Amino acid sequence: MAEEAKSSGGDNAVVAAQSHGPDLTSAGAGVISSDAVQNPGLPPHRKRVTELDPKKEKTAERVVYSLFYLSIVGSLAAVLAYMFFPIETGEESAIRLHTVFVGSGMALSLLALGIGAVHWGKALMSDVEAIDERHPAPSNEETREAAAEVFRVADEESGFSRRTLVRNSLFGALIAFPLPGITLLRSLAPQDVDPVEVLKHTMWEKGIRLARDNGGHKIGEPIRAADVTIGSVFHVVPENLGTAKDLINEKAKAIVLLIRLDEKDLKERDERKDWSYNGIVAYSKVCTHVGCPVALNEQHTHHLLCPCHQSQFDVADEAKVIFGPAKRPLPQLPITVDADGYLIARSDFTEPVGPSYWERLK
């Protein structure tokens, strides 16, 4: 069969296959085609209207810096709206106006800044195609000089140094843009009051029953000590929370985790022996790091975990910090039971709830 293939033109077939390229001996078994598609290259550069008409270029420049100035106006408007439309009254109409005007100012600031930057790049900056070849690292002196030249050329082509109005208006917009956000930080602290006093007192007081936290404004039924089994966890608020004028803030300070442990596992100082009841303990749910909710309970280790920054507290040992960035234990709420067997508070917290920052000031 080999002889037949040879006599029937097998050699000619091989020669024909090899005739597709001038030098095929180094190609191994591959067939290299001599009529492969060639690189068409880049199309000719098409100049924009701003490159052809100086008046159009000047108009585009005016549009860019006008947008940057408009961004500054939006940032300042948001700050002024924050000042002239306060929300301290808690009225729904005041909150609505505050949100509309502050949000509109911030949206205008960001939108004008973004459109201005895009228009600058599309209308004024150089759009010539270029190829940046990959080079080995580390760079030598010649490469560093070449990099500096790239920056110089980029500066020249973008007109960053030459177009002073565009550049300075951009700087102004970037400086003004964070101002609304910085201004809004003012709302994170109480106004005209001592934060230590605000955080030190909650709605807990002697005789207030512990009620289930059903989420939001919903306050559940009071909790009987007999209903709290070993290992169970209850999210708790004061039963009188519904009478608060500022329910959200009062709830944020008063939220509590109620847990029952085996009494032999509790490590309590003598002065705190009566702060728990039959192994039931209550601790503030507000992490002493930055105020995140501590809500994850490891039943077998008696550890409470803050999911935000991983602080861990030992419930069996007065909620002391055993891991993480928190610097002090969770404040404990002294509890007992009333004549009907319902859990009640013996008093308010004996120290400020929340982050340690306020406590360190005093």
CA separation for the pair 61, 160 (Å, rounded) = 12
Model confidence at 5, pLDDT cuts 50, 70, 90, reads very low
pLDDT digits (tens, 9 = 90+) for 167-185: 899 999 999 988 888 887 7
**Overall average pLDDT of the 233-239 stretch:** 91
Residue 211's DSSP bridge partners are 222, 237
Higher pLDDT, 32 or 237: 237
Looking at residue 63, its pLDDT comes to: 95
Q: What percent of the chain has pLDDT over 70?
A: 83
pLDDT digits (tens, 9 = 90+) for 21-45: 444 444 455 566 667 777 777 778 7
Per the prediction, the chain carries an average pLDDT of: 83
pLDDT digits (tens, 9 = 90+) for 115-157: 999 999 999 888 777 766 666 667 778 888 888 898 888 888 8
Q: Using the predicted structure, report yes or no on whether residue 242 has a pLDDT greater than 50.
A: yes
CA separation for the pair 331, 345 (Å, rounded) = 14
Looking at residue 28, its pLDDT comes to: 52
**Overall average pLDDT of the 350-362 stretch:** 71
Model confidence at 190, pLDDT cuts 50, 70, 90, reads low
Rg (CA), the chain: 36
Looking at residue 256, its pLDDT comes to: 92
**Overall average pLDDT of the 252-274 stretch:** 89
Higher pLDDT, 24 or 243: 243
Model confidence at 113, pLDDT cuts 50, 70, 90, reads very high
Looking at residue 252, its pLDDT comes to: 87
Pairing between β-strand 280-284 and β-strand 296-298 as defined by DSSP bridges: unpaired
Q: Using the predicted structure, report yes or no on whether residue 20 has a pLDDT greater than 70.
A: no
Q: Using the predicted structure, report yes or no on whether residue 341 has a pLDDT greater than 60.
A: yes
AA identity, residue 284: S
Residues contacting 79, CB < 8 A, separation 6+: 105, 179, 180, 183
Secondary structure of 107-151 in HEC code, one letter for each residue: HHHHHHHHHHHHHHHHHCCCCCCCCCCCCCCCCCHHHHHHHHHHH
Looking at residue 357, its pLDDT comes to: 67
Residues contacting 351, CB < 8 A, separation 6+: 200, 331, 359
pLDDT digits (tens, 9 = 90+) for 61-97: 999 999 999 999 999 999 999 989 988 777 888 889 9
Please report where in the chains the tokens 């500066």 appear, as a residue. 155
Note whether 115 and 67 are within 8 A (CB). Answer: yes
Q: If we measure between CA atoms, which residue out of 71, 76, 70 comes closest to residue 102?
A: 76
Count of CB atoms within 10 A of residue 63's CB? 17
> Is pTM beyond 0.85 here?
no
Looking at residue 9, its pLDDT comes to: 46
